[in-house]
Amino acid sequence: MRRIKLTVAYDGTNYCGWQVQPNGITVEEVLNRALSALTGTKVNVIGASRTDSGVHARGNVAVFDTDSPIPPDRISYAVNQKLPDDIVVVKSEEVPKDWHPRYQNSVKTYEYHILNAKMPDPTRRYTTYFVSYHLDLEQMKKAAGYLVGEHDFASFCNIHTDVEDTVRTIYELTVEKSGEDLTIRVRGNGFLYNMVRIIAGTLLQVGRGFYTPEDVRGILETKDRESAGVTAPPHGLMLMRIEYEKDLDKSEGDRVV
């Protein structure tokens, strides 16, 4: 029996998130079905990040166990023949049998994509959040700086989250604009439910002048979800990559906890 690690990209538009659930089709369900058909045995993958309905990924990670004779690096090519066009296994490789994608030291990078233009672009309606109003980029950048570091992010997580520890570390949070494209990029050791979308929604309200950058520092200190901004829509969010400890460049000085 071997454990295979998969790097998975998908357009989340047509799915009710990653995790199998009774009320709709999910990425995990489709992947399980394709791998089961490929290997001839029932497969249940274990995913690293349970992305929400409508959220996209370029680098989610999952593992599964198999006795299949297919070489590990060829599984991606074989299973892609059985997957729909909006899900692609971009890499497959063998890992130790006890390797678990959620219990390894890691750093996740998310991007929230915004189209800041006068008119929407119908070809990008499922991958960017359309914002027509003027945004003060410098104020957004300043506000983002207050969220970098280790903090209690209780103000930036869904009130229905049942986790006891809401302390997380953000290593990098940038706001960049190129033409009409605005990208909020956040890199951290873990994220609470809806955390990135609430950060994005709050920074957008800073950009509109509803909050000052200093207000964001105060919001963080209140540890109260009601004090933060709205939750930005899911379709602008993309999980870009998950870097595990052995893959991280130690020269960056990250301490992964």
List the catalytic residues: 52
Burial pattern 110-139, b for ≥16 Cβ within 10 A else e, equals: bbbbbbbbeeeeeebeebbbbbeeebeeeb
DSSP string, 45-60: -EES--PPTT-EEEEE
- Distance, in Å, from the CA atom of 109 to the CA atom of 59, rounded to the nearest integer, reads 9
Residues 28, 63: contact at Cβ < 8 Å?
Answer: no
Residues 155, 139: contact at Cβ < 8 Å?
Answer: no
Beta bridge partners of 56: 238
In Å, how far are 24, 150, 180, 228, 245 from 200, measured between CA atoms? Answer: 27, 18, 17, 11, 27
Closest CA to 254 of 84, 243, 199, 64: 243
In Å, how far are 14, 130, 238 from 127, measured between CA atoms? Answer: 12, 10, 8
Residue pointed to by tokens 């990425």: 27
Q: How many CA atoms lie within 13 A of 8 on its CB side?
A: 34
